[in-house]
Amino acid sequence: MSRPFLKMNGLGNDFVVVEARSAPFAPTAAEVRAIADRKSGIGCDQLIVIEPAQGADATVRFWNADGEEVSACGNGTRCVGWLLMASGEKDEVAIETKAGRLTASRAGERLVSVDMGKPRLDWREIPLKVEQDTNELALRLTDQNGDDLGAPAAVSMGNPHVVFFVPDVDAVAIDLIGPMVERLPIFPEKANVGFAQVKAKDRIRLRVWERGAGLTKACGTGACAALVAAARRGLTDRAATLELDGGELFIDWRDDDHVIMTGPAAVDFAGELP
């Protein structure tokens, strides 16, 4: 049986979204990889499946392009939030994820805000293999030119992130350093690897190597993690615009400790899975 899908993106971070509230859809890892393949499949960074939920508008599950299911995806949640609000004619929806319940709300024309919840900052919550100061990990690496990348920070936004602060993010060989850091033994669940350049107290340039997906045009949870890490070090205020390859996100780490992500959602096309 063929299965309808929507191709969506948030700042170029792209998704195949499958509606499964009326008929279950449980893809295998091989099927996820086939769908995500940009040469022989539809092509995407993540596969998203919308399932029924009790007490919420929907349950949402995420798979990276490598076939591994993950707990959270910020840009994907924003896209699904827009879809649920549009189809249900609502201004706010509740979404269940493996990282917890998230709330999405309208923020303008095609703009969606998602309450991503509180950042997890304890080493056990990231998780790390051994106890570390997550504000400054005892992890020292050099870039392709032999220059010290400095001690990174670690933050979980429902998925593990490590953030390096660099003077020029575009000068870093992310395709070389990203996959190496992703798989370091200190990260038992692997890690998303962000490279952040602080341009002002309210502006950060960011690129992210996503575990299981590679270098993407945007990473919502990565943007949240970078803002939290920068604010903890006093490098920025608690709210800032994040410049990603695909566009801009506004991140606000509120006084109640919740991180709010605001950005666009777009539908590219509809189709059917073979």
Question: Domain spans of the chain?
Answer: 3-117+263-273, 153-257
**How far is it, in rounded angstroms, from Cα 72 to Cα 70?**
6
pLDDT, position 105: 98
The whole model's pTM is what? 0.93
DSSP designation for 148: B
Backbone conformation region of residue 31, classed left if phi is above 0, alpha if psi is from -120 to 50, else beta: alpha
Which letter, b or e, does each residue of 235-269 get, where b requires 16 or more Cβ atoms within 10 Å of its Cβ? ebebebbbbbbbeebbbbbeeeeebbbbbbbeeee
pLDDT, position 1: 60
69, amino acid identity: E
Q: Distance between CA atoms of 68 and 28, rounded to whole angstroms? A: 9
Q: What CA–CA distance (Å, rounded) separates 208 from 202?
A: 19
Residues annotated catalytic, as ranges: 73, 219
Of 210, 233, 113, the residue nearest 159 (C-alpha): 210
Tell me the CATH class for 153-257.
alpha beta
pLDDT of residue 145: 84
Q: Give exposure, 105-114, as e/b (b: 16+ Cβ within 10 Å).
A: bbbeeeebbb
CATH architecture of 3-117+263-273: Roll (3.10)
Query: How many C-beta atoms surround the C-beta of residue 39 within 10 A?
Result: 5
pLDDT at 190: 97
Query: Closest Cα partner for 259 from 239, 235, 234, 233?
Result: 239
What pLDDT shows up at residue 140?
87
pLDDT digits (tens), the chain, 274 positions: 679 999 999 999 999 999 999 999 999 999 999 999 999 999 999 999 999 999 999 999 999 999 999 998 999 999 999 999 999 899 999 999 999 999 999 998 889 999 999 999 999 999 999 999 999 999 989 888 888 999 999 999 999 999 999 999 999 999 999 999 999 999 999 999 999 999 999 999 999 999 999 999 999 999 999 999 999 999 999 999 999 999 999 999 999 999 999 999 999 999 999 7
Nearest in space to 151 (alpha carbons), one of 173, 166, 161: 166
Q: Do domains 3-117+263-273 and 153-257 have the same CATH topology?
A: yes
